[in-house]
Amino acid sequence: FFNFKAIAAALAALVSVNKIGAKPNNANVVYESASERFNRAADTVSTPVSLNKDLDIDSSLVMLKGKVINAKTKQPVPYADIYIDNTDYKTTVDSAGNFTITVPRYFLKEKMLTAEARWYKTKIVPLNRINPQKPIKVEFDNREEMILGRW
């Protein structure tokens, strides 16, 4: 099935081509040492591009500020949790209902801000609908039903 002499000859040819300093059989083939390859690569290096979305080319950050209030009473809702879905970006609202969260700018195109507080319905705000220069206003509605249990 296999022609072992042909396979051995092909492997020998591959090995000789990859040796540094090997003599070319073809005048159009250029061989260079490892240090020459390194220097050539160093001369052509430009801004690195990351495939990791969290370190994207547009990795500038934007600070989002906002206030969380009760929709009915207009009073602040302290200590609510604010986070960006499917990320590690999160913060907690202060006692006056204010929050700040710093996120990569590209989040404004595709991510959701979620606000959660005990006794209130969870609020989800698409970041593509907000203006980062203006404070975000999150209004919580009371839960319609409260489940009572034994303490």
Q: What is the pLDDT of residues 66-119, one digit of tens each?
A: 999 999 999 999 999 999 999 999 999 999 999 999 999 999 999 999 999 988
Q: What is the pLDDT of residues 40-51, one digit of tens each?
A: 544 444 444 444
Q: What is the pLDDT of residue 45?
A: 42
Distance, CA of 71 to CA of 68 (rounded, Å): 9
pTM above 0.85, yes or no: no
Q: Is the pLDDT of residue 34 over 70?
A: no
Backbone φ, ψ for residue 121 (5° rounding): -70, 140
Look at residue 125 and give its three-state secondary structure.
strand
Q: Which two tokens stand for residue 34?
A: 């490892």
Q: Is the pLDDT of residue 38 over 90?
A: no
Give the per-residue SS3 of 33-70: CHHHHHHHHHHHCCCCCCCCHHHCCCCCEEEEEEEEEE
